[in-house]
């Protein structure tokens, strides 16, 4: 720092003043995300930035950008003495241009610099480059559209992702060259580039850059290695792998460790971990590198999983005297061997591995026996060995044997159809090992009942093991225990919810077995009545219980959703043969099946037949099916001259709905059903019917039309979005909206004037929906009054419609 005294010895060299130090500062590096200038314009653009960033200084300002008036007198006198304070001088900027050959020439003025910087973009070769760039962009756009047509949007997304990854990789390549690591780390992890020829030099250099990037993350602990960085490192290694393996000791040990650490990490975003380990281990062995004990075990496991089973077993046997005898690695070594031998079914060697593990000193988790139990359960000849191994594990665990352990072992035996042994283990689980039924010839009554098995089945279905639950049902039937229908229905529901063709076929098979059992029961009941009480008839079948109404409902729902109308008709025939009283759900499935099959005209007759014969009470879903089936909704178009003969269908159906008002109690009226009803009258231009339907929905069913439905009815459309695309129709919608808003505002003012609402408050939800309903009814009433459809008078037409729609009481109360 300069001395504080005004008398400065200017010949001294032992200080740097603040102004000079500011001038000596290096310019800050541009962030990575800023655009890179073209090489031929770097110098010129820097000069341009200097000219823009340093405008002509005002009077009393130094060339260093320091205002002397803001400092003290000492600094001013010092700058004056150094010649930095000169009011007569101005800043002078020189402009330069660099051509493609690297030559630099000085430009005459700022105008010349601007022409040089921007002129090539509007004329000459620069214009050609711009046009080429635009053409390339258009070709890329056409390519993406073509790929989207051929391969779909997923194919385009994959291509764009690859292009983005390539751009990121290029950006990383440029940034990796600037990474700085400690010298001792750089020397140990980088592969020497000397002695390589041709493209191998570039590949080695590229791999070194990736190694530097990973080492940078590892040493600084900034973040975990990302999936992209791991993929880039693997790609760089595979590009030069053959050349590296051909030379012994070409890769430093630290580089191998870094590759292993990055590529063999056990993470969710490293799905190719095993393949990486197999390749790295093989390459390290071929190049003479030393693998640690943990790496050798991982290498053997990776070889086995990667399909090189013989090589894995050879390496495992070779290391018996080293890793298999060493205290630190013996347990992991023999457990790995046990898993491999079990997977290939070599139970003899697997059993020897079990004994070796059991003889090892120290504590060990008895669950190491699970792979052995599974392998034994898969072979009918060794089932007993597997069961003994289970008992051994249970004894070793003692109180530590949890329910998940039992579930695991039971699943092993069920998967191999060893249901008896699975039952033994389930009994152990339920009795905590106090009950052993393996040596009993007959199951005790506490076990041989559907309630005990029902607990097992419920647990299996809850775990999603529906196939094993089916096997337990078969075990029950084989032992003469008839399952409860509700239990089997639970399995049917799980099968049908799975959306699996195999499970649906099984559900069909079992359900029809139950339906046949029900039909057989009905037939035997009739025959027994003819023979008298002295004759006892027993059913014959597969042992499944008789179907219930739930069984039929499950099948009906499945057939309806899949559009299997033929099967639905067969099911209905069987339903009648089973002499069961249907409910609304079963009837609804049948009605919707007819609608989906294009037989909507039969729905009304079928509904009346079912309700008359079985006295079924309809529900809201029933009326949705009936409204979907009337001609106004079933047919694509109806000619105007047929309106009058179709209008009674809607009015009669509305009267039917009013008759069963109780079906809509204790629940909110369905919006889609109300919308379907209103548009049914609108499509037939039944203005009076629509007016009474809106009133009836409000007063009888408590439904108030929301704003979208009000606009639809006033605009005479079912698709507001489509209608709004037309300018003329859009203006009409706007007018309806403005009128509706004015009506709501007038209603608000009325409430304010009456003192029921504060002046600044808005309408409540209830008040708003009531006002919207009143506005709609008023508009519909006005439309009826203006219509020439009712020469006998609107009041007379309303009275007739009210009679047909069951709303006489409603009209009389108006």
DSSP letters, 522-578, are HHHHHHHHHH-TT------SSSPPPP-HHHHHHHHHHHHHHT-HHHHHHHHHHHHHT
Chain-centroid distance of CA 80 in Å reads 72
pTM over the 0.75 mark? no
Structure tokens at 433: 């090992």
**Residue with the larger pLDDT of the pair 560 and 117:** 560
* Cβ–Cβ < 8 Å for 477, 467: no
Distance, in Å, from the CA atom of 794 to the CA atom of 802, rounded to the nearest integer, reads 12
What's the 3-state SS for 411-458? HHHHHCCCHHHHHHHHHHHHHCCCCCCCCCCCCCCCCCCHHHHHHHHH
Structure tokens at 356: 């070796």
Section 135-140 average pLDDT: 62
* Cβ–Cβ < 8 Å for 204, 196: yes
* Cβ–Cβ < 8 Å for 78, 17: yes
> What is the pLDDT confidence band of residue 641, given thresholds at 50, 70 and 90?
confident
> What is the pLDDT confidence band of residue 550, given thresholds at 50, 70 and 90?
very high
On the question of pLDDT at 107 being above 70, the answer is: yes
H-helix or E-strand spanning residue 804? helix 794-805
* Cβ–Cβ < 8 Å for 66, 23: no
> What is the pLDDT confidence band of residue 132, given thresholds at 50, 70 and 90?
low
Q: How far apart are the first and last CA of the chain?
A: 99
Domain assignments of the chain as residue spans, ordered by start: 18-120, 122-151, 152-289, 292-364, 365-483, 484-573, 630-812
What's the 3-state SS for 603-668? HHHHHHHHHHHHCCCCCHHHHHHHHHHCHHHHCCCCCHHHHHHHHHHHHHHHHHHHHCHHHHCCCC
What is the share, in percent, of the chain residues with pLDDT greater than 70?
A: 75
**Residue with the larger pLDDT of the pair 294 and 8:** 294
> How many helices and strands, by DSSP H and E, does the chain display?
38, 2
**Residue with the larger pLDDT of the pair 206 and 79:** 206
* Cβ–Cβ < 8 Å for 424, 390: no
> What is the pLDDT confidence band of residue 9, given thresholds at 50, 70 and 90?
very low
CA dihedral 130, 135, 136, 140 (to 10 degrees): 140
On the question of pLDDT at 205 being above 60, the answer is: yes
Section 489-503 average pLDDT: 93
Helix axes 309-318, 293-305, angle to 10 degrees: 150
Distance, in Å, from the CA atom of 529 to the CA atom of 805, rounded to the nearest integer, reads 48
381-416: pLDDT as tens digits: 999 999 999 999 999 999 899 999 999 999 999 999
On the question of pLDDT at 537 being above 80, the answer is: no
Cβ-based neighbours of 781, under 8 Å, separated by 6 or more:
691
On the question of pLDDT at 244 being above 70, the answer is: yes
| pLDDT at res. 545 | 93
Phi, psi of 447 (to 5 degrees): -110, -40
How many beta carbons lie within 10 A of that of residue 612, not counting itself? 9
The rounded mean pLDDT for the chain is 82
| pLDDT at res. 50 | 41
Distance, in Å, from the CA atom of 792 to the CA atom of 32, rounded to the nearest integer, reads 84
CA dihedral 33, 37, 38, 43 (to 10 degrees): -150
On the question of pLDDT at 260 being above 50, the answer is: yes
| pLDDT at res. 33 | 36
Section 707-723 average pLDDT: 90
On the question of pLDDT at 709 being above 50, the answer is: yes
Structure tokens at 148: 């989207």
457-486: pLDDT as tens digits: 999 999 999 999 999 999 999 999 999 999
Distance, in Å, from the CA atom of 521 to the CA atom of 508, rounded to the nearest integer, reads 20
Helix axes 293-305, 330-344, angle to 10 degrees: 10
Phi, psi of 104 (to 5 degrees): -115, 130
> What is the pLDDT confidence band of residue 690, given thresholds at 50, 70 and 90?
very high
> What is the pLDDT confidence band of residue 221, given thresholds at 50, 70 and 90?
low
| pLDDT at res. 643 | 81
423-433: pLDDT as tens digits: 999 999 999 88
| pLDDT at res. 571 | 94
Nearest to 307 by CA among 288, 286, 282, 331: 282
Chain-centroid distance of CA 765 in Å reads 36
| pLDDT at res. 573 | 93
On the question of pLDDT at 618 being above 90, the answer is: yes
> What is the pLDDT confidence band of residue 165, given thresholds at 50, 70 and 90?
low
Distance, in Å, from the CA atom of 232 to the CA atom of 699, rounded to the nearest integer, reads 70
């Amino acid at each position: 720092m300069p001395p504080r005294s005004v008398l400065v010895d200017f010949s001294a060299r032992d200080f740097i003043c603040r102004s000079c130090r500011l001038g000596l500062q290096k310019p800050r590096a541009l962030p990575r995300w800023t655009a890179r200038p073209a090489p031929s314009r770097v110098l010129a653009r820097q000069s341009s930035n200097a000219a823009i960033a340093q405008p002509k200084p005002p009077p009393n300002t130094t060339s260093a950008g320091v205002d002397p008036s803001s400092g003290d007198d000492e600094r001013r006198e010092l700058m004056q003495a150094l010649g930095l304070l000169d009011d007569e001088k101005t800043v002078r900027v020189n402009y330069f241009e660099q051509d493609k050959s690297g030559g630099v020439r000085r430009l005459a003025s700022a105008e010349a610099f601007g022409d040089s910087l921007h002129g090539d973009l509007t004329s000459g070769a620069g214009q050609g480059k711009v046009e080429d760039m635009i053409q390339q962009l258009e070709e890329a756009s056409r390519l993406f559209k073509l790929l989207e047509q051929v391969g779909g949007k997923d194919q385009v997304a994959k291509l764009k992702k690859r292009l983005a990854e390539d751009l990121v990789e290029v950006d990383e390549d440029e940034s990796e060259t600037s990474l700085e690591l400690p010298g001792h780390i750089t020397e140990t992890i980088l592969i020497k580039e000397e002695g390589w020829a041709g493209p191998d030099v570039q590949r080695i250099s590229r791999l070194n850059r990736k190694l530097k990037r990973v080492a940078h993350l590892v040493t600084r602990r900034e973040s975990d290695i990302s999936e992209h960085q791991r993929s880039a490192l693997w790609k760089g290694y595979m590009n030069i792998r053959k050349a590296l393996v051909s030379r012994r000791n070409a890769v430093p040990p630290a580089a191998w460790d870094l590759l292993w650490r990055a590529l063999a990490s056990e993470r969710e975003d490293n799905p190719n971990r095993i393949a990486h380990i197999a390749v790295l281990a093989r390459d390290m062995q071929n190049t003479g590198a030393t693998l640690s004990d943990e790496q050798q075990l991982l290498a053997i496991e990776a070889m086995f999983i990667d399909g090189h089973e013989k090589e894995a077993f050879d390496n495992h046997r070779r290391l018996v005297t080293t890793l298999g005898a060493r205290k630190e690695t013996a347990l992991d070594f023999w457990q790995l061997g046990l898993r491999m031998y079990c997977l290939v079914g070599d139970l003899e060697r697997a059993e020897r591995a079990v004994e070796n593990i059991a003889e090892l000193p120290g504590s060990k988790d008895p669950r190491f026996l699970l792979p052995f139990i599974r392998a034994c359960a898969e072979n009918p000849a060794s089932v007993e060995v597997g069961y003994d191994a289970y008992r051994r594990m249970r004894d070793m665990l003692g109180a530590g044997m949890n329910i998940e352990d039992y579930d695991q072992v039971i699943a092993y035996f069920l998967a191999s159809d060893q249901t008896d042994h699975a039952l033994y283990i389930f009994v152990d689980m339920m009795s905590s090992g106090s009950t052993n039924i393996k040596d009993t010839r007959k199951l005790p009554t506490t076990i041989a009942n559907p309630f005990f098995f029902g607990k097992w089945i419920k647990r299996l279905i809850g775990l999603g093991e529906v196939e094993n639950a089916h096997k337990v049902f078969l075990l029950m039937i084989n032992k003469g225990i008839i399952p409860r229908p509700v239990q089997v229905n639970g399995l049917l529901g799980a099968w049908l919810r799975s959306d699996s063709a195999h499970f649906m076929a099984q559900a069909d098979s079992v359900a029809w077995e139950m339906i046949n059992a029900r039909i057989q029961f009905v037939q035997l009941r009739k025959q027994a009545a003819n023979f008298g009480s002295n004759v006892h008839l027993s059913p014959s079948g597969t042992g499944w219980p008789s179907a219930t109404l739930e069984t039929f409902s499950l099948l009906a729902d499945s057939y309806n959703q899949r559009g299997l109308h033929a099967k639905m008709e067969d099911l209905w025939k069987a339903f009648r043969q089973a002499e069961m009283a249907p409910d609304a759900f079963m009837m609804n499935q049948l009605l919707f099946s007819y609608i989906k099959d294009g037989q909507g005209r039969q729905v009304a007759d079928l509904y009346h037949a079912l309700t008359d014969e079985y006295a079924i009470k309809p529900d809201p879903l029933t009326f949705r099916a009936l409204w979907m089936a009337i001609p106004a909704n079933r047919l694509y178009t109806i000619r105007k001259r047929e309106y009058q003969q179709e209008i009674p269908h809607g009015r009669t159906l509305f009267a039917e709905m009013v008759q069963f008002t109780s079906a809509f109690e204790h629940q909110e009226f369905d919006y889609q059903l109300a919308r379907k009803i209103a548009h049914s009258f609108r499509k037939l231009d039944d203005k009076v019917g629509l007016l009474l339907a809106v009133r009836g929905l409000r007063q009888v069913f408590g439904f108030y039309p929301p704003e979208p439905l009000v606009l639809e009815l006033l605009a005479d459309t079912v698709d507001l979005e489509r209608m709004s695309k037309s300018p003329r129709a859009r203006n009409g919608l706007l007018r309806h909206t403005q009128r509706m808003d004015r009506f709501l505002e007038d209603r608000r003012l009325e409430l304010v004037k009456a003192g029921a609402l504060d002046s600044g408050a808005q309408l409540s939800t209830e008040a708003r929906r009531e006002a919207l309903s009143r506005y709609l009814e008023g508009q519909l009433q006005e439309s009826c009054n203006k219509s020439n459809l009712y020469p006998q008078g609107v009041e007379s037409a309303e009275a007739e419609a009210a009679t047909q729609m069951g709303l006489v009481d409603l009209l009389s109360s108006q």
